[in-house]
Amino acid sequence: MYMQGLRQSRNILIQLTIATLLVLILGTYFSDLLRMIYFSNQQTTAGYAINGLIVALFLLALIRMVVLLISYDREEQALSHFQTNLNQNRQDLLEFVSPSSMIAIRVEMLESMRQQRTEIHHQALAATLVAHESTRTALIRFIHNIMILCGVLGTIISLSIALLGASTLLEQAVSSTGMGMVIHGMSTALSTTMTAVICYLFITYFFSALQNLQTRILGRIEQLTTTRLMPLYQVTEEAITGHALDLVREAHLLVQSLNEKVNAFDLQSINESIEKTAAQGRLQHEEMLGQLRVLSALLKDGFRLPKD
Protein backbone atom coordinates (compact mmCIF):
# COMPACT_ATOMS: atom_id res chain seq x y z
CA MET A 1 0.00 0.00 0.00
CA TYR A 2 1.21 3.48 -0.82
CA MET A 3 2.73 5.56 1.96
CA GLN A 4 3.29 2.61 4.23
CA GLY A 5 6.42 2.85 6.34
CA LEU A 6 9.10 5.45 5.86
CA ARG A 7 8.51 7.96 3.09
CA GLN A 8 10.73 7.63 0.02
CA SER A 9 11.82 11.28 0.07
CA ARG A 10 13.04 10.85 3.63
CA ASN A 11 14.90 7.71 2.58
CA ILE A 12 16.71 9.66 -0.13
CA LEU A 13 17.58 12.47 2.28
CA ILE A 14 19.04 9.94 4.71
CA GLN A 15 21.07 8.34 1.90
CA LEU A 16 22.30 11.76 0.81
CA THR A 17 23.39 12.61 4.34
CA ILE A 18 25.20 9.30 4.76
CA ALA A 19 26.93 9.65 1.39
CA THR A 20 28.07 13.19 2.23
CA LEU A 21 29.46 12.10 5.59
CA LEU A 22 31.20 9.15 3.94
CA VAL A 23 32.86 11.45 1.39
CA LEU A 24 34.02 13.79 4.16
CA ILE A 25 35.43 10.88 6.17
CA LEU A 26 37.27 9.48 3.15
CA GLY A 27 38.54 12.96 2.30
CA THR A 28 39.89 13.35 5.81
CA TYR A 29 41.49 9.91 5.75
CA PHE A 30 43.20 10.52 2.40
CA SER A 31 43.93 14.18 3.10
CA ASP A 32 47.65 13.85 2.40
CA LEU A 33 47.06 12.29 -1.01
CA LEU A 34 44.40 14.85 -1.91
CA ARG A 35 46.64 17.70 -0.78
CA MET A 36 49.38 16.41 -3.06
CA ILE A 37 47.01 16.09 -6.04
CA TYR A 38 45.17 19.38 -5.62
CA PHE A 39 47.70 21.76 -4.05
CA SER A 40 51.20 20.54 -4.94
CA ASN A 41 53.02 21.75 -8.04
CA GLN A 42 50.38 24.40 -8.77
CA GLN A 43 52.23 27.01 -10.78
CA THR A 44 49.05 28.61 -12.18
CA THR A 45 45.53 29.21 -10.91
CA ALA A 46 43.96 27.11 -13.67
CA GLY A 47 43.50 24.08 -11.43
CA TYR A 48 41.96 26.12 -8.62
CA ALA A 49 39.59 27.89 -11.02
CA ILE A 50 38.37 24.75 -12.80
CA ASN A 51 38.02 22.66 -9.65
CA GLY A 52 36.32 25.57 -7.91
CA LEU A 53 33.85 25.86 -10.80
CA ILE A 54 33.07 22.14 -10.67
CA VAL A 55 32.60 22.15 -6.89
CA ALA A 56 30.44 25.29 -7.03
CA LEU A 57 28.15 23.74 -9.64
CA PHE A 58 28.03 20.54 -7.62
CA LEU A 59 27.05 22.35 -4.41
CA LEU A 60 24.42 24.37 -6.28
CA ALA A 61 22.85 21.19 -7.65
CA LEU A 62 23.07 19.54 -4.24
CA ILE A 63 21.31 22.42 -2.48
CA ARG A 64 18.57 22.46 -5.11
CA MET A 65 18.18 18.71 -4.73
CA VAL A 66 17.78 18.96 -0.95
CA VAL A 67 15.17 21.71 -1.35
CA LEU A 68 13.17 19.56 -3.78
CA LEU A 69 13.41 16.50 -1.55
CA ILE A 70 12.05 18.47 1.41
CA SER A 71 9.25 19.77 -0.81
CA TYR A 72 8.38 16.28 -2.04
CA ASP A 73 8.41 15.02 1.53
CA ARG A 74 5.61 17.49 2.26
CA GLU A 75 3.81 16.31 -0.87
CA GLU A 76 3.98 12.72 0.37
CA GLN A 77 2.55 13.78 3.73
CA ALA A 78 -0.29 15.60 1.96
CA LEU A 79 -1.04 12.54 -0.17
CA SER A 80 -1.06 10.36 2.92
CA HIS A 81 -3.56 12.62 4.72
CA PHE A 82 -5.70 12.89 1.59
CA GLN A 83 -5.78 9.10 1.18
CA THR A 84 -6.83 8.76 4.82
CA ASN A 85 -9.64 11.28 4.32
CA LEU A 86 -10.87 9.34 1.29
CA ASN A 87 -10.79 6.02 3.11
CA GLN A 88 -12.70 7.47 6.07
CA ASN A 89 -15.26 9.20 3.79
CA ARG A 90 -14.74 12.56 5.47
CA GLN A 91 -16.82 15.49 4.33
CA ASP A 92 -13.74 17.70 3.92
CA LEU A 93 -11.27 15.80 1.75
CA LEU A 94 -8.58 18.44 2.34
CA GLU A 95 -8.61 18.17 6.13
CA PHE A 96 -5.00 18.15 7.44
CA VAL A 97 -3.81 18.60 3.82
CA SER A 98 -1.51 21.52 3.01
CA PRO A 99 -3.33 24.05 0.76
CA SER A 100 -0.17 24.51 -1.32
CA SER A 101 0.26 20.79 -2.04
CA MET A 102 -0.26 19.41 -5.54
CA ILE A 103 -3.21 17.24 -4.55
CA ALA A 104 -4.97 20.18 -2.84
CA ILE A 105 -4.48 22.34 -5.92
CA ARG A 106 -5.83 19.51 -8.09
CA VAL A 107 -8.96 19.14 -5.92
CA GLU A 108 -9.59 22.89 -5.90
CA MET A 109 -9.15 23.01 -9.67
CA LEU A 110 -11.64 20.17 -10.19
CA GLU A 111 -14.10 21.83 -7.80
CA SER A 112 -13.79 25.13 -9.69
CA MET A 113 -14.34 23.41 -13.05
CA ARG A 114 -17.40 21.61 -11.72
CA GLN A 115 -18.91 24.85 -10.42
CA GLN A 116 -18.32 26.43 -13.82
CA ARG A 117 -19.84 23.34 -15.47
CA THR A 118 -16.71 22.91 -17.57
CA GLU A 119 -15.75 19.57 -19.04
CA ILE A 120 -12.73 18.14 -17.25
CA HIS A 121 -9.83 17.02 -19.47
CA HIS A 122 -7.69 14.81 -17.30
CA GLN A 123 -4.92 14.51 -19.89
CA ALA A 124 -4.50 18.29 -20.04
CA LEU A 125 -4.32 18.55 -16.25
CA ALA A 126 -1.73 15.77 -16.08
CA ALA A 127 0.40 17.29 -18.85
CA THR A 128 0.33 20.70 -17.15
CA LEU A 129 1.44 19.23 -13.83
CA VAL A 130 4.27 17.25 -15.44
CA ALA A 131 5.48 20.34 -17.31
CA HIS A 132 5.45 22.41 -14.12
CA GLU A 133 7.38 19.81 -12.14
CA SER A 134 9.92 19.40 -14.95
CA THR A 135 10.86 23.06 -14.64
CA ARG A 136 11.74 22.53 -10.97
CA THR A 137 14.50 20.07 -11.89
CA ALA A 138 15.81 22.08 -14.86
CA LEU A 139 18.81 23.48 -12.95
CA ILE A 140 19.87 20.05 -11.67
CA ARG A 141 19.46 18.57 -15.15
CA PHE A 142 21.62 21.33 -16.66
CA ILE A 143 24.40 20.87 -14.10
CA HIS A 144 24.21 17.09 -14.51
CA ASN A 145 24.67 17.45 -18.26
CA ILE A 146 27.63 19.83 -18.13
CA MET A 147 29.43 18.36 -15.12
CA ILE A 148 31.44 15.82 -17.08
CA LEU A 149 32.09 18.44 -19.77
CA CYS A 150 33.68 20.67 -17.13
CA GLY A 151 36.04 17.83 -16.30
CA VAL A 152 36.88 17.39 -19.97
CA LEU A 153 37.48 21.14 -20.26
CA GLY A 154 39.82 21.03 -17.28
CA THR A 155 41.69 18.09 -18.79
CA ILE A 156 42.13 19.88 -22.11
CA ILE A 157 43.35 23.07 -20.46
CA SER A 158 45.72 21.13 -18.21
CA LEU A 159 47.15 19.15 -21.12
CA SER A 160 47.64 22.41 -23.00
CA ILE A 161 49.60 23.73 -20.03
CA ALA A 162 51.65 20.52 -19.99
CA LEU A 163 52.36 20.83 -23.71
CA LEU A 164 53.42 24.43 -23.20
CA GLY A 165 55.82 23.31 -20.49
CA ALA A 166 57.14 20.53 -22.73
CA SER A 167 57.72 23.03 -25.51
CA THR A 168 59.69 25.25 -23.14
CA LEU A 169 61.63 22.24 -21.94
CA LEU A 170 62.59 21.32 -25.50
CA GLU A 171 63.69 24.84 -26.34
CA GLN A 172 65.98 24.99 -23.34
CA ALA A 173 68.25 22.10 -22.48
CA VAL A 174 67.96 22.73 -18.77
CA SER A 175 64.70 24.38 -17.75
CA SER A 176 63.14 23.80 -14.36
CA THR A 177 60.24 26.03 -15.38
CA GLY A 178 59.33 23.85 -18.34
CA MET A 179 59.49 20.66 -16.29
CA GLY A 180 57.41 22.26 -13.54
CA MET A 181 54.78 23.29 -16.07
CA VAL A 182 54.60 19.74 -17.41
CA ILE A 183 54.14 18.31 -13.93
CA HIS A 184 51.63 21.05 -13.07
CA GLY A 185 49.62 20.38 -16.23
CA MET A 186 49.45 16.63 -15.65
CA SER A 187 48.54 17.11 -11.98
CA THR A 188 45.80 19.59 -12.87
CA ALA A 189 44.42 17.23 -15.52
CA LEU A 190 44.20 14.47 -12.93
CA SER A 191 42.57 16.65 -10.28
CA THR A 192 39.95 18.21 -12.57
CA THR A 193 39.04 14.87 -14.12
CA MET A 194 38.76 13.19 -10.73
CA THR A 195 36.66 16.02 -9.29
CA ALA A 196 34.29 16.04 -12.25
CA VAL A 197 33.86 12.25 -12.28
CA ILE A 198 33.15 12.03 -8.53
CA CYS A 199 30.69 14.92 -8.63
CA TYR A 200 29.04 13.52 -11.76
CA LEU A 201 28.53 10.08 -10.21
CA PHE A 202 27.18 11.65 -7.01
CA ILE A 203 24.70 13.85 -8.86
CA THR A 204 23.70 11.09 -11.28
CA TYR A 205 22.67 8.70 -8.52
CA PHE A 206 20.66 11.17 -6.47
CA PHE A 207 19.19 12.95 -9.49
CA SER A 208 17.93 9.58 -10.73
CA ALA A 209 16.43 8.89 -7.30
CA LEU A 210 14.81 12.34 -7.32
CA GLN A 211 13.30 11.73 -10.77
CA ASN A 212 11.92 8.36 -9.64
CA LEU A 213 10.39 10.03 -6.59
CA GLN A 214 8.87 12.76 -8.74
CA THR A 215 7.40 10.18 -11.13
CA ARG A 216 6.00 8.19 -8.21
CA ILE A 217 4.27 11.20 -6.67
CA LEU A 218 2.84 12.41 -9.98
CA GLY A 219 1.66 8.91 -10.79
CA ARG A 220 -0.09 8.65 -7.44
CA ILE A 221 -1.84 11.99 -7.98
CA GLU A 222 -3.07 10.94 -11.42
CA GLN A 223 -4.22 7.58 -10.07
CA LEU A 224 -6.25 9.26 -7.33
CA THR A 225 -7.65 11.69 -9.88
CA THR A 226 -8.74 8.89 -12.21
CA THR A 227 -10.13 6.46 -9.66
CA ARG A 228 -11.49 8.71 -6.90
CA LEU A 229 -11.78 12.36 -7.96
CA MET A 230 -13.09 12.15 -11.53
CA PRO A 231 -16.20 10.17 -10.50
CA LEU A 232 -16.90 12.88 -7.91
CA TYR A 233 -16.36 15.95 -10.07
CA GLN A 234 -16.87 14.85 -13.68
CA VAL A 235 -20.44 15.40 -14.95
CA THR A 236 -21.15 13.40 -18.12
CA GLU A 237 -24.17 11.81 -19.75
CA GLU A 238 -22.87 8.40 -18.73
CA ALA A 239 -22.50 9.52 -15.12
CA ILE A 240 -26.02 10.98 -15.06
CA THR A 241 -27.46 7.84 -16.66
CA GLY A 242 -25.62 5.65 -14.19
CA HIS A 243 -26.85 7.76 -11.28
CA ALA A 244 -30.43 7.57 -12.57
CA LEU A 245 -30.14 3.79 -12.90
CA ASP A 246 -28.90 3.58 -9.34
CA LEU A 247 -31.89 5.62 -8.15
CA VAL A 248 -34.32 3.42 -10.10
CA ARG A 249 -32.67 0.31 -8.69
CA GLU A 250 -32.95 1.64 -5.14
CA ALA A 251 -36.60 2.61 -5.70
CA HIS A 252 -37.35 -0.88 -7.03
CA LEU A 253 -35.76 -2.44 -3.97
CA LEU A 254 -37.78 -0.13 -1.72
CA VAL A 255 -41.06 -1.11 -3.44
CA GLN A 256 -40.16 -4.78 -3.09
CA SER A 257 -39.46 -4.29 0.59
CA LEU A 258 -42.81 -2.54 1.10
CA ASN A 259 -44.65 -5.33 -0.74
CA GLU A 260 -42.97 -7.93 1.43
CA LYS A 261 -43.97 -6.07 4.58
CA VAL A 262 -47.56 -5.67 3.38
CA ASN A 263 -47.79 -9.34 2.45
CA ALA A 264 -46.47 -10.25 5.86
CA PHE A 265 -49.64 -8.84 7.46
CA ASP A 266 -52.71 -11.14 8.00
CA LEU A 267 -55.36 -9.04 6.26
CA GLN A 268 -58.21 -11.38 7.23
CA SER A 269 -57.34 -11.11 10.90
CA ILE A 270 -57.13 -7.37 10.58
CA ASN A 271 -60.58 -7.22 8.95
CA GLU A 272 -62.09 -9.45 11.65
CA SER A 273 -60.53 -7.27 14.33
CA ILE A 274 -61.94 -4.14 12.70
CA GLU A 275 -65.45 -5.67 12.45
CA LYS A 276 -65.30 -6.85 16.07
CA THR A 277 -64.24 -3.41 17.22
CA ALA A 278 -67.07 -1.81 15.20
CA ALA A 279 -69.67 -4.21 16.70
CA GLN A 280 -68.46 -3.46 20.20
CA GLY A 281 -68.69 0.23 19.42
CA ARG A 282 -72.30 -0.13 18.23
CA LEU A 283 -73.29 -2.05 21.39
CA GLN A 284 -71.68 0.56 23.61
CA HIS A 285 -73.49 3.27 21.65
CA GLU A 286 -76.87 1.56 22.08
CA GLU A 287 -76.27 1.04 25.81
CA MET A 288 -75.37 4.69 26.17
CA LEU A 289 -78.56 5.74 24.37
CA GLY A 290 -80.67 3.51 26.70
CA GLN A 291 -79.04 5.02 29.76
CA LEU A 292 -79.68 8.51 28.42
CA ARG A 293 -83.41 7.69 27.91
CA VAL A 294 -83.71 6.38 31.50
CA LEU A 295 -81.94 9.47 32.83
CA SER A 296 -84.23 11.71 30.81
CA ALA A 297 -87.35 9.98 32.19
CA LEU A 298 -86.08 10.32 35.77
CA LEU A 299 -85.39 14.00 35.31
CA LYS A 300 -88.85 14.62 33.92
CA ASP A 301 -90.49 12.74 36.81
CA GLY A 302 -88.36 14.51 39.37
CA PHE A 303 -89.05 18.01 38.06
CA ARG A 304 -92.62 17.12 37.05
CA LEU A 305 -92.02 18.10 33.52
CA PRO A 306 -94.57 17.30 30.90
CA LYS A 307 -93.83 14.08 29.07
CA ASP A 308 -93.79 14.01 25.31
Q: How far apart are CA 46 and CA 16, in angstroms?
A: 30
The pLDDT, as a whole number, for residue 234 is: 74
| pLDDT value of residue 49 | 86
Q: Is residue 200 part of a domain?
A: yes
- Residue 87 counted as domain residue: yes
* Contact present, 61 and 143 (Cβ < 8 Å): yes
| pLDDT value of position 4 | 45
Dump pLDDT digits (tens) for 51-104.
899 999 999 999 999 999 999 999 999 999 999 999 888 888 888 899 999 999
Q: pLDDT digits over 129-180, tens only? A: 999 999 999 999 999 999 888 888 877 777 676 666 665 555 555 455 555 6
Is 301 inside a domain boundary?
no
Query: Residue 138 belongs to what domain range?
Result: 8-233
Per-residue pLDDT reduced to its tens digit, 184-220: 666 677 788 888 888 999 999 999 999 999 999 999 9
Mean pLDDT of the chain: 82
Look at residue 303 and tell me if it is in a domain.
no
Mean predicted confidence (pLDDT) in 11-36 = 92
14 is a domain residue: yes
**Residue 263 belongs to a domain:** no
Residue 304 domain-assigned (yes or no): no
Domain-embedded: residue 281: no
Number of domains composing the chain? 1
